[in-house]
Amino acid sequence: MEPIEIAERLKEQFPFDVLDLASFRDQVQVTVKRDRIIDICNYVHKDPDISMDYLSDLCGIDYPGRRLRFEVVYNLYSLKYRHRIRIKALIPENDPSIDSVVLIWKGANWHEREACDMFGIIFNGHPDLRRILMPEDWEGYPLRKDYPLQGPDGSEYRKYEELKELHSRDDELGIK
């Protein structure tokens, strides 16, 4: 099936949840609401003509200007038919949670843990949601756009005499 046909089928099946269809360089993405994400993922996993049995990737993106600040992106692939599709679920900032798809694809387990670690998105129903790349007691969500590149104590190094010359043009160059 062509990826655009899969997107059309998805829109037919879930007319109230699919918000947008877009295509770039023959890769198709479908933007959905987060409420029925488990039904949508079950549909693409089990439908015999679509059969997305391989979860390539699950990640989060931060768009700080929008009301629906976070996006969770599912990159899916079908080994049987060799077609790809991308599903994006929009998540608001004040309640950053979405259902976990770990029962559909077991590989989603650690990807969801990383999205929670880096962005603070909570996955309901995940068996073991704790920090994975950062230390367990870390505070803050590093991949958000408002988190400084050098970490919360990056500016602390400016107080050392030996490093003064190194950091002398930081404000001018916009280095945080």
Task: Pick the closer one to other proteins by CB: 16 or 58.
Answer: 58
Beta carbon of residue 151, minimum distance to other proteins (angstroms, whole number): 9
Q: Which residues bind other proteins (CB under 8 A)?
A: 24-25, 27, 29, 53-57, 59, 61-62, 73, 75, 79, 82, 84, 86, 105-111, 114, 118, 131-135, 142-143, 147, 149
Beta carbon of residue 124, minimum distance to other proteins (angstroms, whole number): 20
Beta carbon of residue 75, minimum distance to other proteins (angstroms, whole number): 5
53 vs 13, 31, 101, 105, CA distance in Å? 19, 20, 13, 8
Beta carbon of residue 94, minimum distance to other proteins (angstroms, whole number): 22
Of 91, 92, 113, residue with least CA distance to 101: 113
Of 126, 140, 27, residue with least CA distance to 75: 27
Burial class (CB in 10 A: 0-12, 13-18, 19+), 32: buried
Task: Pick the closer one to other proteins by CB: 17 or 117.
Answer: 117
Q: Which residues contact 67 (CB under 8 A, 6 or more apart)?
A: 92, 93
Beta carbon of residue 54, minimum distance to other proteins (angstroms, whole number): 6
Task: Pick the closer one to other proteins by CB: 35 or 133.
Answer: 133
Task: Pick the closer one to other proteins by CB: 16 or 24.
Answer: 24
Strand partners, 18: 32
Is residue 149 within 8 A of residue 155, CB to CB? The reply is no
Task: Pick the closer one to other proteins by CB: 15 or 65.
Answer: 65
Q: Output the six-digit token pair for 141.
A: 């969500």
